[in-house]
Amino acid sequence: MAATIRDIREQTGLSLATISKYLNGGNVLPENREKIETAIRDLHYEVNEIARGLVTNKTKTIGMIVYDIESMFSGVLIRHVGDCLRKAGYALLVCDSCNDEKIEADNVRFLINKKVEGMVVIPVSWKEDFLLPTREKKIPVVLMDRSFAVSDFDCVKIDNRTAALRATNHLLGCGHKKIAIIASRVEYTGWERYKGFREAMVQAGLSVPEEYCRIGAHTIEFGHDSMLKLLELPDRPTAVLMTNYETSLGAVMAVNESGFDCPGDISMLGFDDLIMSHVVKPKLCMVVQPMKEMCEKAVELVLTQIDSKEERPPIELSMGTTLRDGNSIKPLQGK
């Protein structure tokens, strides 16, 4: 059906090798170049990437595994990573882990089977075991947003500790002392943010009651429940720091449903602005990540790994964050 390189040979009288050379940007005589180009036009020829892939052993495809494709956070990352890759001539194969470690491990095998040349992964699991198969096959991997305690993989993320520390300091600066935190237990990210929070509190000479620390799942539900529990405490906190997108969302939900007023009754500071900060009232003060830049870096890392054959130690990129103002924080006359 479709024209092949052989059809071009027929029409031009040249050899396969010459035509192939032309297709790959090699030098051919102007006269032959002409012939080939008209033949391509006449026959509507397009190179068959499958056949090319068979011999070059390259698929020009990168796999991306996201923890939850329904999350807007994933969506934004997918868009930017896809854009960058497209510019570099690569395609993106997206897999959704549905927040499930088993599916995540399946995804890795699936992508290997699809012969992707590299992977960008926002992991669900706490351990890197599920990525082991990529090591066997020497497939470059770049983690995003989340990394592991001891990691052997390239990673692009934000400086979680500092971000949380500064966010907490902001609350402290507004006069808050009774600050609660909602964080995720499972991975490094949540843990680092939690540490940043504790550090700021210790520096301020404040102690944090057990019941102010809600460490749990990375879900809207957990954020929701945690916030409700916090609001029910006899000694309510005056401010809450939510350390990821999902729990921020859930917490906002809970406050809106509870009848409490933000910032009147409780101040809030969230993480990971997406459209959310606009849709909720009042506008949420948030820690925002440079998502586009992170994606550019991630793509850069995975492509350089592909290009250079030598091993190199893993690179961990820590990007800065900014604190975006809102009016979800009430200044307290302190001390």
Partner DNA sequence: GAACAAGAGCGTACCGTTTCGCGAACACGT
Partner DNA sequence: ACGTGTTCGCGAAACGGTACGCTCTTGTTC
207 binds, among its own copies, DNA, none (CB under 5 to 8 A by kind): none
Question: What is the rounded distance in angstroms from the CA atom of residue 85 to the CA atom of residue 79?
Answer: 10
Is 287 within 8 Å of 330 (Cβ atoms)? no
23 binds, among its own copies, DNA, none (CB under 5 to 8 A by kind): DNA
Q: Name the minimum Å distance from CB 52 to DNA.
A: 4
Is 284 within 8 Å of 250 (Cβ atoms)? no
**Strand 141-144 relative to strand 118-121: parallel, antiparallel, unpaired?**
parallel
Return the bridge partners of 180, or none. Answer: 240
Question: What is the rounded distance in angstroms from the CA atom of residue 103 to the CA atom of residue 106?
Answer: 5
Residues near DNA (CB under 7 A): 2, 4-6, 13-21, 23-24, 27-29, 32, 45-48, 51-52, 54-57
Question: 145: Cβ–Cβ under 8 A, 6 or more apart, which residues?
Answer: 73, 77, 122, 156, 157, 158, 189, 294
253 binds, among DNA, its own copies, none (CB under 5 to 8 A by kind): its own copies
Under the criterion CB under 8 A, does residue 87 sit at the interface with its own copies? no
98 burial level (CB within 10 Å; 0-12, 13-18, 19+): middle
20 binds, among DNA, its own copies, none (CB under 5 to 8 A by kind): DNA
Give 5 or 69: the residue with its C-beta nearer to DNA: 5
280 binds, among its own copies, DNA, none (CB under 5 to 8 A by kind): its own copies
Give 113 or 207: the residue with its C-beta nearer to its own copies: 113
Q: Name the minimum Å distance from CB 261 to its own copies.
A: 11
Is 107 within 8 Å of 95 (Cβ atoms)? yes
Question: What is the rounded distance in angstroms from the CA atom of residue 217 to the CA atom of residue 118?
Answer: 29
Using the contact rule CB under 8 A, the part of the chain among 117-125, 151-159, 278-286, 301-309 near its own copies is 278-286
Under the criterion CB under 8 A, does residue 324 sit at the interface with its own copies? no
Question: What is the rounded distance in angstroms from the CA atom of residue 197 to the CA atom of residue 193?
Answer: 6
Helix axes 16-23, 5-12, angle to 10 degrees: 110
256 binds, among DNA, its own copies, none (CB under 5 to 8 A by kind): its own copies
Under the criterion CB under 8 A, does residue 276 sit at the interface with its own copies? yes
**Residue type at 81 in one-letter notation:** V
Using the contact rule CB under 8 A, the part of the chain among 25-33, 112-120, 204-212, 233-241 near its own copies is 112-120
Under the criterion CB under 8 A, does residue 252 sit at the interface with its own copies? yes
186 binds, among its own copies, DNA, none (CB under 5 to 8 A by kind): none
Among positions 10, 70, 129, 152, the unique one binding its own copies when judged by CB under 8 A: 70
* Coil/strand/helix, residue 217: coil
Question: What is the rounded distance in angstroms from the CA atom of residue 71 to the CA atom of residue 77?
Answer: 10
Catalog residues that contact its own copies under the rule CB under 8 A: 2, 46, 48-51, 53-54, 59, 69-72, 74-76, 78-79, 82, 86, 91-96, 98, 110, 113-115, 137, 220, 249, 252-253, 256-257, 274-276, 278-281
